[in-house]
Structures are given as C-alpha cells and as structure tokens.
C-alpha cells in the first residue's frame, strides 16, 4: 500500500499538468510533444525495433523444434520447476541463457514441454522456483527490473530508482483455465526459491486443475506482479492442450501432423545473450518501456526456423506469445509471390468454432488474414496437398507496431516468421479432414452492463502508465460479478494502441465492435481530471456512438478469453460467470481469495497498472437476476428527431438474437440496412445521414420474428 501511495503521488503530479493542458482546448487528439497528459488518440508511434542491433543471423537454416510432452511424477500429478538453462536458439549463436519449465534442469526448456490433459480428469501441479546457482543461492534477474512500478518487491525496497538484484519472484498462471482462485496464479501469489518469501496473494504450493472446460489450446506462463514481461521474455511459457477423446471432430490431423507453434520476438546482444533494452522513455521509470518489439522472430524457441511438410493436411496450434507484437499472417511463395494455401481456422482461445473459417484465400488478395494479438490462440488446418514438392512457403507478417497504425513490419526481419518446405510424402494416404463443431450456447440475459474505458497517462517522453477505467491495480475491486450471472462488458479504447484484454476464469463471446466519436475521449478526461482515481465518472455511451456495430471477424465468433480491442472503438463482449459447459455452478468456490484478475495482455502494460481485480460474489435470490430485463420487444423514437446529420435508433430485446434495421426514404427506396447480434437488453445504433437529402425517412427494426416501424426527419 505504501508503494501504491508513492506511485500514485508521482502519477498525480503528472496528471495535474495534464489537466492544465486539457483545459486549454476542447478537442484533444494527442498530448503535444514534451507535455505531460492523457494519451487519447494519435497516429504517432515510437517503435523500439532496431534492425541493426545484435548479430546478423541466417534465416531458415535450423529445423523447427517441437515441444515434447511433460512427464508426470505420479498419476495425474506433475512436479514442474523453473530453471536457468543454456539453450541453442540459432545454430550461428552461442548457447543463450534462458529460463525454462521442466521436471529438472535437464528436461527444462524454452518453450516448456506440453502438458497433455484430458477433459474430466483433474491434475495437480507442484510449481517450484529453482532459479538458484550451483550453491543454492538465489539468482538475480538477468534483465533490468524496474522498482518504480507497482511490483512484487520481495525485499520490501519500496519505490526505488535503482535496479533490483534480489531473488526472482515467480508464479504460474494457466491462461484460459477454468480453475479455483488459489490455483489461478494471482500476480500477488508469487514466491522466491524455496518459498522463502511469498506474496500477499500466495495460497499454496500445489495447484489443482479440474479440466472440466471444453477441449482447447491453453498455455501456461509466469504471472508475477510487475515482472511478467521479463519472466516470460526469459522463456517461462508452455502449451497446455486439453483434449476430449470421442467428443471432438473426428479425423483431424494428428500425431506428427499436429504441431504447436508459439511465435515470439526477441533481441540479442552480440554475445548471443537476450537483450531487453532499458527503454527509459520517461524519467519516472528508468528500466521500463511502454512496449517491446524485437527485431528477431522465434518459433518454438528457434530463430527463423523451417519445417518440412508433406503434401498433406497439418493442424497447427498457434499462440502469439510475444510481449506486445501483433502478427498478421499468411503463406506466400517468396520467389514467385504466389499466395497460398489457405488457412482453415477451426478453433479459438476457448474451443472449436461452429464451422471452419477460411483465411488467406489464395484466389483473393483481399481475403482476411490471421490476426493474433499477444495471448490469443488459433487452431488452424493448412492443406499442402496441392503444393508441388520442392516449393518453399514463407509464413510472413504484416502486423504494424504498435497495432494497427504503427510502423510496418520490416520485410527483412520481423516481416518473416518461418519457412515451410514441401517434401515428398511418406506414401501413406491422408485421411484427415477439415472440421470444427462446437455449438455456441446462448449465455442468457445480462443482468449488468459494465462500461469500462482504456486510458494511457502520458509523460514528457511517452506513457507513464496504463489504466483500466482509470483505476490502479491495488484499488478496491470494481468488477464484482455475481456467480452464475451474465454481464455485458462495453470496453471503450481511447488510446492509440489495440489492447488484447484478457479475463481470468471465464471464456466469453465477443458481440461486436463500434466506432466512437473522438469527443468521448475529451469529455471523459474532462469528467475525470484526476487519473488514477477510485472515483471514476461514467459517461452515457449512446451520444458518442458512430455508424453501425460490426460483428467480430468470422474467426473470432467463438469462445474467447483474450479479445483485441481496437483504438477509437467500443468492443462488446458477453460474459457468463459460470462453467463453460453450462453447469449451474463450479465445483470449487470462485469467490475465495485471492480472487481473479482481468488485464491487458501486452505484458509491458499489465506490468504498469493495466490490470485489475476480478472478484466474484456469491449468488443471491435467483429472481434478482431478472430485474431490469425487458419484458417485450420495444422500439423507441429516434433521438434526436429532427436531426442533422446523426440520430440514434434504440430498441429493447427480450432475448438475445440477430436484429436488422432498414431505413427507407419517402419513395420507399432502402438507403441503409444493418444487421447485428446483441444480448437481451437495450440496443442503440447511430445513423449518420451525411450525403442524404433532407426530408422524412422511415425505419424498421426487426428481431426474433418481430418488426416495428417508425419515422424521423432529417433537416439540413
């Protein structure tokens, strides 16, 4: 708490300068260079790519390593520790010091071996911190630890401008796991070697994973408060594949044709050691930078590897394990520039899609590509059967840094991920298929709508901190959902970056995204001049909405635990705080301490305040969840009416479903049509009539087999 007060005082001084700047004008797009203030929306980027840093390495000369299976110490029990090891990350590099999970130093690796779990079969894991030297003394962190952040602080140093050299705190989180709070890897649940020092959220040494959720691609990684970016960068991550034999799509590619791919960016010193720059863009944080973008791409812990593939179908479990980089991927022949083959995505973060979604259609350069933000996963099948033997295919990347309007990926370095080499078949027929097959349930009526705003606080050289709805990490919980209820979260992003927002415990369903007026950012900051604050004023959202809600990308319309929330948009997700399989209650107490968290999965952001408690509460009278539920389909009059040029069309849905608005002129000609998918409750959409003539217009709203008609007038 003392550290929090000191940090808050520093941020508050910066914020007062921001208030003076903000009050000086009514419309702000970005803080002026050299000022301190809120970062609203800008297109100015400060990339940290340095193409010329580190050794020059030849691409595609090393085969792709494929992580093995983590061995069990006893039936359904694992003994897994974190160790400092030496690993060859490229054949032209000397051995590099990394950290890896394993059962011993000999089995530890970066990335770690894969935990293969079976649905309905619980496991336990004894996680240990073995970052010690040969004499058993705790190792210091090889990377610069910034003590001006709100972090684990094992030695109780408090706010300090000096680099930290004490024992390393660790705690493991199963990302996407439906687990009890005591086993969730709470950021305050960290511990040092031998459990000598433990965080305030520490509960137990052995974690329990019930594995009751739907089969999917999970992953585990370090989650210690304020040093997650550094501990994951050192290598502490691994896949956790949850399978459900007999209840998954049959005949998917398997065995040697099912391959996990974790994609990460890094930088190296000339001696081959990992380089994490001391990116001091603001004097307040001497060893922290707002985002890390490396100049070298690794897949499964190998720099720019290659994979030999037969002319068959392969299943790839793809994870973006980078600190901050967003990847936009496709396959292309690097010589002929011919596209293909297509990606067929069959699963998302939390399970299978209802049907396969084709990406990277080689017959269309406008075909959507596979976009993955940090923490997101994609279950993808690629069919190489039509590709001639001897062809090389480059997995390239066009993701900008920061995403989506930053610096383009360098085609010499970060624009290349790995190479696929098509080799002769082993002669066995390929009987595998491309299939998905998970029916998405109706998550029910949301009893609460939470409007939350993403904000960055700017300093003279860049961001000082990032906040979720203007709150600091250790403030009182404000997101306290009731067990068993469904909530609608509307997350407004008024920063310049896309933020992959991750909720612990649950898998949710994305509903839509919608543009929001830049005036919202200005008005929000005027209404909340002191950020961070425990008392945040929420603005009515409807007056700021622009255009029509757009459905999530086709390959996002499934179970998600991490969702990319774009700048100048409100992103809506429907969250049911109950087991994913529809059971009425968990087989553990989700209200127990230390609770859960939600945060941005750009690791530099979550390490600097962009993380908040998620504290579930016990259910009350079931009838209480029905309060406020609309009893009928109702369409309101457009507001304002008359209008020029924007008006809002609002209606109520008694149950979740697809809706359609059609707008007609007095001649009966349809001038606009839009469809959307929304939960039960109030829905509002704005129509911008720029380009339309003055006069009377009619609109119909249709949903769940019901339709109503209204009229409005455009006066210019």
d(CA 701, CA 683): 11
**Percent of the residues in the chain that have a pLDDT greater than 90, as a whole number:** 76
Distance of CA 148 to the CA centre of its chain: 25
7 — pLDDT class (breaks 50, 70, 90): low
The per-residue pLDDT for range 278-304, each reduced to its tens digit, is 867 788 899 999 999 999 999 999 999
Domain co-membership, 377 together with 484: no
| 340 conformational bin, left if phi > 0, alpha if psi -120 to 50, beta if neither | left
Q: Give the 3-state secondary structure percentages of the chain, helix then strand then coil, rounded to 5.
A: 10, 40, 55
Using the predicted structure, report yes or no on whether residue 20 has a pLDDT greater than 80: no
Number of domains composing the chain: 4
Using the predicted structure, report yes or no on whether residue 470 has a pLDDT greater than 60: yes
- Mean pLDDT along residues 322-341: 96
What pLDDT sits at residue 631? Answer: 56
Give the residue, 667 or 236, on which the prediction is more confident.
236
15 — pLDDT class (breaks 50, 70, 90): very low
Q: Are β-strands 463-468 and 327-332 bridged in parallel, bridged antiparallel, or unpaired?
A: unpaired
What pLDDT sits at residue 53? Answer: 64
The per-residue pLDDT for range 527-570, each reduced to its tens digit, is 999 999 999 999 999 999 999 999 999 999 999 999 999 999 99
The whole-chain average pLDDT of the chain stands at 90
Side-chain half-sphere of 638: how many Cα atoms within 13 Å?
Answer: 30
Domain co-membership, 403 together with 339: yes
Domain co-membership, 27 together with 167: no
Assess contact for 341 and 399: CB atoms under 8 A.
no
Stated pTM of the model: 0.84
Structure tokens that stand for 485 in this block: 């209820």
Using the predicted structure, report yes or no on whether residue 687 has a pLDDT greater than 60: yes
What pLDDT sits at residue 37? Answer: 36
63, part of any domain: no
- What value does the CA radius of gyration of the chain take, rounded to a whole number of Å? 25
What pLDDT sits at residue 14? Answer: 44
Return the top range by mean pLDDT from 3-7, 335-339, 455-459: 335-339
In what helix (H) or strand (E) does residue 604 lie, and over which residues does it extend?
helix 603-606
What pLDDT sits at residue 13? Answer: 43
State the CATH number of the domain containing residue 661: 2.60.40.1930
What pLDDT sits at residue 52? Answer: 56
Domain co-membership, 466 together with 607: yes
71, part of any domain: no
580 — pLDDT class (breaks 50, 70, 90): very high
63 — pLDDT class (breaks 50, 70, 90): very high
User: What's the order of all strands across the beta sheet hosting 206-209?
Assistant: 96-102, 77-87, 123-129, 206-209
Residue 313's domain spans which residues?
Answer: 263-422
432, part of any domain: no
d(CA 541, CA 522): 13
Using the predicted structure, report yes or no on whether residue 714 has a pLDDT greater than 50: yes
Assess contact for 263 and 301: CB atoms under 8 A.
no
29 — pLDDT class (breaks 50, 70, 90): very low
Any idea what DSSP says for residue 544? G
Using the predicted structure, report yes or no on whether residue 54 has a pLDDT greater than 80: no
Q: How many CB atoms within 10 Å of residue 162?
A: 12
State the CATH number of the domain containing residue 122: 2.60.40.420
428, part of any domain: no
Residue with tokens 């090891």: 85
639 — pLDDT class (breaks 50, 70, 90): confident
Using the predicted structure, report yes or no on whether residue 497 has a pLDDT greater than 70: yes
Using the predicted structure, report yes or no on whether residue 628 has a pLDDT greater than 60: no
Using the predicted structure, report yes or no on whether residue 49 has a pLDDT greater than 70: no
Assess contact for 468 and 454: CB atoms under 8 A.
yes
Q: How many CB atoms within 10 Å of residue 27?
A: 9
454, part of any domain: yes
Using the predicted structure, report yes or no on whether residue 385 has a pLDDT greater than 90: yes
Given 606, 626, 646, the domain boundary residue is 626
What pLDDT sits at residue 42? Answer: 36
d(CA 712, CA 716): 13
Domain co-membership, 478 together with 351: no
Given 252, 281, 316, the domain boundary residue is 252
The per-residue pLDDT for range 478-495, each reduced to its tens digit, is 999 999 999 999 999 999
Domain co-membership, 456 together with 604: yes
Given 252, 276, 297, the domain boundary residue is 252
- Mean pLDDT along residues 224-243: 98
Domain co-membership, 553 together with 497: yes
Using the predicted structure, report yes or no on whether residue 36 has a pLDDT greater than 80: no
Query: What are the DSSP E strand ranges found in 136-188?
Result: 172-175
Domain co-membership, 179 together with 315: no
602, part of any domain: yes
677 — pLDDT class (breaks 50, 70, 90): confident
Domain co-membership, 205 together with 181: yes
Residue with tokens 């001696």: 271
Domain co-membership, 457 together with 592: yes
What pLDDT sits at residue 30? Answer: 28
Using the predicted structure, report yes or no on whether residue 16 has a pLDDT greater than 50: no
676 — pLDDT class (breaks 50, 70, 90): confident
The per-residue pLDDT for range 202-227, each reduced to its tens digit, is 999 999 999 999 999 999 999 999 99
Domain co-membership, 344 together with 280: yes
φ, ψ dihedrals at 585, nearest 5° = -150, 160
Domain co-membership, 676 together with 541: no
196, part of any domain: yes
- Mean pLDDT along residues 627-633: 56
- Mean pLDDT along residues 32-40: 34
């Amino acid at each position: 708490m003392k550290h929090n007060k000191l940090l808050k005082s520093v941020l508050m001084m910066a914020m007062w300068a921001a208030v003076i700047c903000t009050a000086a004008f009514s419309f702000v797009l970005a803080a002026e260079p050299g000022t301190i203030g809120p970062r609203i929306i800008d297109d100015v980027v400060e990339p940290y790519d340095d193409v010329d840093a580190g050794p020059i390495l030849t691409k595609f000369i090393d085969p792709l390593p494929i992580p093995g299976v983590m061995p069990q110490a006893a039936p359904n029990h694992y003994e897994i520790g974190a160790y400092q090891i030496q690993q060859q990350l490229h054949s032209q590099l000397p051995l590099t010091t990394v950290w890896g999970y394993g059962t011993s130093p000999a089995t530890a690796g970066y990335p770690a071996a894969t935990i293969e779990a079976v649905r309905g079969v619980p496991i336990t894991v004894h996680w240990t911190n073995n970052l010690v030297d040969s004499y058993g003394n705790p190792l210091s962190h090889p990377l610069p630890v910034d003590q001006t952040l709100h972090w684990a602080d094992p030695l109780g140093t408090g706010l300090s401008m000096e680099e930290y050299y004490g024992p390393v705190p660790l705690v493991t989180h199963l990302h996407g796991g439906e687990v009890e709070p005591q086993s969730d890897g709470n950021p305050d649940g960290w511990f040092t070697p031998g459990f000598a020092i433990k965080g305030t959220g520490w509960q137990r040494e052995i974690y329990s994973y019930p594995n009751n959720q739907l089969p999917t691609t999970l992953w585990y990684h370090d989650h210690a408060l304020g040093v997650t970016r550094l501990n994951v960068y050192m290598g502490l991550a691994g896949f956790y594949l949850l399978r459900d034999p007999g209840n998954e799509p049959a005949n998917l590619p398997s065995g040697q044709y099912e391959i996990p791919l974790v994609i990460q960016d890094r930088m190296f010193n000339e001696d081959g050691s990992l380089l994490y720059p001391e990116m001091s863009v603001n004097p307040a944080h001497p060893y922290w930078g707002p985002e890390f973008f490396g100049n070298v791409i690794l897949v499964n812990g190998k720099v720019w590897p290659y994979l030999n593939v037969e002319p068959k179908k392969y299943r790839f479990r793809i994870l973006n394990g980078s600190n901050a980089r967003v990847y936009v991927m496709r396959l292309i022949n690097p010589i002929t520039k011919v596209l293909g083959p297509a990606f067929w995505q069959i699963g998302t973060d939390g399970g299978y899609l209802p049907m396969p979604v084709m990406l990277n259609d080689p017959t269309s350069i406008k075909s959507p590509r596979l976009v993955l933000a940090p923490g997101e996963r994609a279950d993808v099948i690629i069919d190489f059967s039509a590709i001639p033997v001897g062809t090389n295919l480059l997995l390239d990347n066009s993701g900008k840094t920061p995403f989506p309007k930053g610096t383009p990926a360098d085609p010499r370095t970060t624009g290349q991920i790995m190479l696929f080499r098509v080799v002769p078949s082993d002669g066995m027929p390929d009987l595998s298929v491309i299939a998905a097959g998970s029916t998405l349930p109706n998550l029910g009526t949301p009893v609460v709508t939470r409007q939350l705003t993403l904000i960055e606080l700017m300093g003279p050289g860049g961001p000082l901190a990032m906040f979720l709805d203007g709150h600091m990490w250790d403030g009182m919980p404000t997101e306290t959902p009731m067990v068993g209820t469904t909530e609608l979260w509307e997350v407004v992003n008024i920063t310049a970056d896309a933020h992959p927002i991750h909720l612990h415990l649950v898998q949710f369903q994305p509903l839509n995204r919608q543009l929001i007026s830049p005036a919202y950012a200005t008005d929000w900051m005027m209404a909340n001049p002191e950020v961070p604050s425990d008392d945040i004023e929420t603005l009515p959202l409807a007056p700021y909405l622009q255009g029509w809600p757009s459905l999530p990308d086709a390959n996002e319309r499934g179970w998600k635990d991490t969702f990319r929330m774009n700048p100048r948009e409100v992103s809506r997700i429907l969250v049911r705080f109950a087991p994913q399989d529809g059971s009425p209650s968990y087989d553990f107490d989700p209200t127990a301490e230390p609770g859960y968290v939600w945060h941005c999965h750009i690791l530099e952001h979550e390490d600097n305040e962009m993380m908040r408690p998620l504290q579930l509460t016990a259910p009350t009278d079931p009838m209480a969840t029905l309060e406020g539920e609309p009893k009928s389909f109702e369409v309101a009059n457009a507001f304002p009416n008359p209008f020029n040029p924007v008006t809002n069309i609002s209606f109520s849905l008694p149950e979740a479903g697809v809706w359609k608005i059609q707008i007609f002129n007095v001649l009966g000609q349809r001038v606009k049509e839009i469809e959307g998918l929304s939960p039960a409750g109030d829905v509002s959409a704005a129509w911008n009539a720029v380009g339309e003539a003055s006069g009377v217009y009619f609109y119909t709203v249709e949903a769940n087999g019901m339709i109503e008609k209204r009229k409005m007038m455009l006066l210019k």
